[in-house]
Amino acid sequence: MPSGMLRCTLLGTGTSTGVPSVACECDTCMSTDPRDRRLRTSLLVQSATTTIVVDTSTDFRQQMLHHRVLDIDAVVYTHHHFDHIGGFDDIRPYNFRSGKPLAIYALGETINVLRSTFPYAFGLTTPNGTSVPSIDYHEIDDQAFRIGDVDILPIAMQHGSMLRVNGYRFGSIAYCTDTNHIPDRSLERLQGLDTLILDGLRWEAHPTHFTVEQALAMVEVLQPRQTYLTHIAHQLRHADTEAMLPPHVRLAYDNLVIEV
């Protein structure tokens, strides 16, 4: 990959149940369109020298195998809901390969939840001889940070009663999943985007996610050149929904690659 270019791959674009959903026979869950098959939401960011995963989703292992991701420099977490941290234990093979801890970056509350959910990875349980994830964790605040040759700007957002989750900006692309409110101070960090990847769960109202209509209103505010909606529920069938969207707004789908 040429120096200065970023390749962003949507590893998963589905809501917490994934699509198709267990025990459902709706039109989307029964669809044969591959764009209607959605793993849990996650993003792969690659430069010429650096590989970053945003969230170890519940489908992390499957996603890494599908894309043959052999090395990871860091994992960056948006927040600590289980569909975004559930694959944490599968960090272990990357420890085996590299022989060193894997760097993770997260808000303090997310680190605390990881610690309580996976206590063995933080030395909080008695070792029993089995392998555990080896990590080097870094707490995120509002300041930009750098991993390898990739600059990352946190975007503070709200997600229902969670008053702080993070989106992230990587150059001219921003990833803002799992939100139903972006404060004014964060809107300033989202100006001048080429590509916005934005929460757009479904048409019906939801207490913690943007609806498609609310996402479109946010697009009007931010005016990115192109927007992809993600964290999509089974209420949205890909082809039917895209026919109702303006040309500069599309539904994301698993394995979509965006280069910036």
In whole angstroms, what separates CA 254 from the centre of its chain? Answer: 12
User: What is the pLDDT averaged over residues 64-73?
Assistant: 98
Query: Cα 74–144–70 angle (5° rounding)?
Result: 15
For the chain, give every domain's residue range.
7-259
What digits encode the pLDDT tens for the residues 17-47? 999 999 999 999 999 999 999 999 999 999 9
Q: What is the pLDDT of residue 2?
A: 79
Q: Is the pTM of this model over 0.85?
A: yes
Name 150's Cβ contacts closer than 8 Å, sequence gap at least 6: 6, 45, 47, 50, 52, 170
Q: Taking 80 as the threshold, does the pLDDT of residue 1 lie above it?
A: no
CATH number, span 7-259: 3.60.15.10
